[in-house]
Amino acid sequence: MEAGCGTGGNLGMLAEFGELQAFELDEEARQAASRKHPIDIKFGSLPDNVPYPANSFDIVAAFDVIEHIEDDLSSLEKLKQLLSADGRLIISVPALPWLWSEHDVTHHHFRRYTRSQLEYVLHEAGLRPILLTYFNTLLFPAIAVQRLTKRALGRQGKGDDTMPSPFINRILNHVFETEKHLIGRISMPVGVSLLAVAEKLR
C-alpha cells in the first residue's frame, strides 16, 4: 500500500511486487493516479483518516510524505498499525535541515531530517530501522552549493523547481539512477534525502 501516492508515479513499479492499494488526499492527484494505474485509489490522509484496517499489508510505502505532515510521530504510528506482523515500512524524506530552501516552503514541508532525527522518531513510533541511509548523494554537492549560494546572495525567495533542458535532465537522471546499485549495499554518508526500511519493534 502506498500512502500519499500523489499522481501515481510509483504505482506501476510497486505493482510488480504484489497486490497494490493506495490512498491520496488531493482529488486532482487521485484522478491523475487512477488514469495511470487501474486500482481504486481511496481518499485518505495521515494520521487520522486512513481508509484501511490494522494489520492489512506486508509492505507500506510513503515516499516524500511524512515531511508534509505536522504530526510525523502519529503518522508513523498509524502506518505501523497497518503492517502485518512481519511487515515492512519503506519511507523517504528530505534530509539535512541546513538545506532548507524555498523549495521546502513551496512544497509545504514542515521539516527536513537528519539521520539521527529520523531514527529517533521511527523508534518512538514503535519501529526499528532495518536500513537507514542517505541517498541522492552523487548530486548532493551541486544541490548544496546551489542552495547555499542562493542563501548567501539573498535569493532564497527564488525556488529551484525549474526544469533543466532535456539534455541536462537526462544526465542528471542517469547520475541519480546509478545510486540504485549502491542502496542496500553501503550506507551513504550524506545526501539530499533519507531512505528507511523499518519493521515493528518486537
Cα within 13 Å of Cα(6), Cβ side: 14
Mean pLDDT of 52-79: 98
Task: Give 16-33 pLDDT, tens digit per residue.
Answer: 999 999 999 999 999 999
Query: Domains of the chain: which residue ranges?
Result: 45-200
pLDDT of the residue at 156:
60
53 three-class SS: coil
Instruction: Report the C-alpha gap between 80 and 68 in whole angstroms.
Output: 18
Q: Which residue has the higher pLDDT, 149 or 84?
A: 84
Rounded Cα distance, 108 and 90, in Å: 21
Q: Are 54 and 77 in contact (CB under 8 A)?
A: no
Kindly report, residue by residue over 100-153, the tens digit of the pLDDT.
Answer: 999 899 999 999 999 999 999 999 999 999 999 999 999 999 999 988 888 888
Is the pLDDT score of 159 beyond 70?
no
- Chain-wide mean pLDDT for the chain? 92
Q: List the alpha helices (DSSP H) in 83-131.
A: 102-106, 115-124
pLDDT at residue 179 in the model: 84
Nearest to 91 by CA among 121, 61, 120, 116: 61
**CATH class of the domain comprising 45-200:** alpha beta
pLDDT of residue 163: 67
pLDDT at res. 157: 57
Quote the pTM value: 0.89
pLDDT above 70 coverage of the chain, percent? 96
Q: What is the pLDDT of residue 161?
A: 62
Percent of the chain with pLDDT over 90: 75
